[in-house]
Chains A and B, each alone.
Chain A
Amino acid sequence: MSVDDATVRKIARLARIGIAEAQVPALAGELSAILGWIEQLGEVDTTGIAPMTAVIPNHLAWRVDAITDGDKQAAVLANAPDATSGFFAVPKVIE
């Protein structure tokens, strides 16, 4: 599987990782090599095999519906690069 430059740009966009145009060919080469190697998984006959859901047999515990958390605005905002009057602030979003 070889990844072309357009695909690299698309993936980078989806992953929100800015890449300089100059990096694209190199990235395409690296990803192609890795994905090419991963391809071999296709050889494995997995008919009738269910994908793994739990690594070790275990069952999902359910929480009781009670208010046990929250009410910690200061802690929530403490590490924010930009917080204003109780909100996180980001560059304006146009919907």
Chain B
Amino acid sequence: MTYIDNGSHSSFRIKGATGDWEIVVGLEVHAQVTAQSKLFSGAATAFGAQPNSQVSLVDAAMPGMLPVVNGECIRQAVRTGLALGAQIHKWSRFDRKNYFYADLPQGYQISQLYHPIVGEGTLEVETDDGIRSTVGIERIHLEQDAGKSVHDLHPTQSFVDLNRSGCALMEIVSKPDIRSPAEAGAYVAALRQLLRYVGSCDGNMDEGSMRADVNVSVRKPGDGFGTRTETKNVNSVRFIMQAVEVEAKRQVELIETGGTVVQETRLFDPNSGTTRSMRSKEDAHDYRYFPDPDLLPVEFDDAFVAECRASLPELPVAKRARYIETLGISAYNAGVLTADVETARYFEAVLADTGPALATAAANWLTSELFGVLKKLGVGIEASPVDPARAAALLGLIASGKISNSIGKQVLEAMVETGDEPAAIVAARGLEQVSDTGAIDAAIAAIIAANADKVDQYRAGKEALFGFFVGQTMKAMAGKANPGVVNERLKAALA
């Protein structure tokens, strides 16, 4: 693993006609705050409701309607800031960002330009090929989401649904520290992982709970920043990486063919894998921000910050380290088990029953056996047909020698089919492991008698045949014999 410090660390380059180009990326991630109701109204935030059914008169900007802030959204923003080791501003304020758009009922978005609730922080990032870097966080501010315009239901009209209008967003703004598409993807993945641990955003990108505005510029290594474009609302890690790459290449081509990059907002089209200028936003660049006179400054004390801090769970980096150092789990497995908060939760629930002694066994079983089952069923671990208690019971049976690893696989399959307790399955199907030497010796005697020739060859030195005898014995014992005992008794019988 190579450690590289902030900025101009990546060796990623775009090969242009005039030489190599470095790309500079900053991301504005919009993360929907996990809350029952909206930032300034009591309407529901659940995804997928009937159009305009989760809209209050405040969200619809009826005359005389006023915003009242949702305290939970403030709490979640502070918890997120703390998780990013960021400055928390105990005095912040909401501003109005004024522009006209069909899905912006007030004619302004309530946001925080001048005094955001969270200031500078950092996020540790690691790409798939193990390149680590630290990406600076510029700020996090709270703001309202806009509604949704549907353009394809009617030839000459767009339809507006305000269900989303007023939902709370955290805009998490990175510094322009990112230098490659891979790093951009890794940053968003790491941020998503952290938000899901904190519980301040479900990170559900296909439902739009997380979208990124991708700011890209290019420069010759060593030069100052170039003119950037902002590609709006890119909604998957893969698309973000694509958008960075294609937009950077477009800019390089443009510059190298004598053109100049204009600062503009663009749209990423996943189908064509290209970005294009967004006409509808062109003249929206004078937002006339000013403090929202319907609201007072947001103020809280150290005690509130302390409560928020106390409510934070163990975060991915710390958890992974603990798994390796105190549980003795391999670095690889520790990474897999902490990658998503749900997996870590499941793993720790299993350990709660088995005790830490079985940590390694549990880690191996989870990442191989259980993941195999989940993959086959195509479900996430939160929907696992085997709950942590039953998983722990199964691991216990294996560890205590009641059943062998191979029988364990059979039992797991049966558990998935029937949902029964593993012990019940083992009993009902008579799968207990046999260590009783009498039964084993009898089986061995029969095999020796039936294979006199092989016995002679073995005694003459053809030791490879030992495996044959083991196999025969296990077969005779229907796989339930304790392998250790079988080895020991065979050695004795063949000596």
Contact = CB atoms under 8 A, between A and B. Distances in A.
Contacts of B54: 70-71
A71 B56 CA distance: 8
B161 A87 contact: yes
A83 B102 CA distance: 13
Contact of A90 (B60, B102, B162): B102
B44 interface: yes
A13 B36 CA distance: 38
Nearest to B41: A69
Given A53-B296, A63-B70, A76 B156 contact: no
A32 to B, nearest CB: 20
B57 interface: yes
B296 A69 contact: no
B157 A63 contact: no
A61 B70 CA distance: 9
A89 B159 CA distance: 5
Interface in A8-59: 13-14, 16, 53-54, 58-59
B55 A73 contact: yes
Q: Which of A66, A70, A71, A92 lies at the interface centre, i.e. has the most chain B CB atoms within 10 A of its CB?
A: A70
B306 interface: no
B157 A91 contact: yes
A75 B50 CA distance: 14
B457 interface: no
Contacts of B93: 53
Nearest to A77: B52
Given A54-B297, A62-B71, A92 B51 contact: no
A84 B50 CA distance: 13
Contacts of B4: none
A84 B157 contact: yes
Q: Which of B52, B156, B279 lies at the interface centre, i.e. has the most chain A CB atoms within 10 A of its CB?
A: B52
A87 to B, nearest CB: 4
A14 B288 contact: yes
Nearest to B281: A95
A65 B37 contact: yes
B211 to A, nearest CB: 15
Interface in B141-200: 149-151, 153-162
A68 B42 contact: yes
Given A73-B55, A86-B51, A67 B44 contact: yes
A58 B160 contact: no
Given A69-B56, A87-B52, A64 B71 contact: yes
Interface string B21-48: 0000000000000011100011110000
Nearest to A90: B102
Nearest to B291: A53
Nearest to A75: B57
Nearest to B158: A93
B279 A70 contact: no
Given A68-B42, A92-B158, A95-B151, A86 B100 contact: no
Nearest to A70: B43
* Chain A interface helix/strand/loop/mixed: loop
B58 interface: yes
A95 B159 contact: no
B18 interface: no
A86 B37 contact: no
A14 B93 CA distance: 25
Contacts of A89: 154, 157-160
A88 to B, nearest CB: 4
B100 to A, nearest CB: 5
A52 to B, nearest CB: 10
A86 B55 CA distance: 12
B203 to A, nearest CB: 19
B267 interface: yes
Contact of B70 (A13, A62, A72, A76): A62
A67 B299 contact: no
A76 B55 contact: yes
Contact of B160 (A72, A88, A94): A88
B53 interface: yes
B74 interface: yes
A94 B279 contact: yes
A86 B299 CA distance: 39
A62 B51 CA distance: 28
A11 to B, nearest CB: 10
Given A70-B53, A72-B55, A59 B299 contact: yes
Q: Which of A66, A84, A95 lies at the interface centre, i.e. has the most chain B CB atoms within 10 A of its CB?
A: A95
Nearest to A62: B71
Contact of A68 (B37, B157, B161): B37
29 contacts: A14-B286, A14-B288, A16-B100, A53-B93, A53-B296, A59-B299, A60-B295, A61-B68, A63-B42, A65-B35, A70-B43, A70-B44, A70-B56, A73-B52, A73-B53, A76-B52, A76-B55, A76-B57, A76-B162, A85-B51, A86-B52, A89-B157, A89-B159, A90-B158, A91-B156, A93-B102, A93-B280, A94-B279, A95-B279
> Which 5 interchain pairs have the tightest Cβ spacing?
A62-B71, A70-B43, A68-B42, A65-B72, A87-B159
Given A53-B296, A91-B157, 16 more contacts: A59-B296, A62-B71, A66-B37, A67-B37, A69-B37, A69-B57, A76-B57, A85-B159, A86-B52, A87-B161, A89-B158, A93-B158, A94-B151, A94-B279, A94-B280, A95-B278
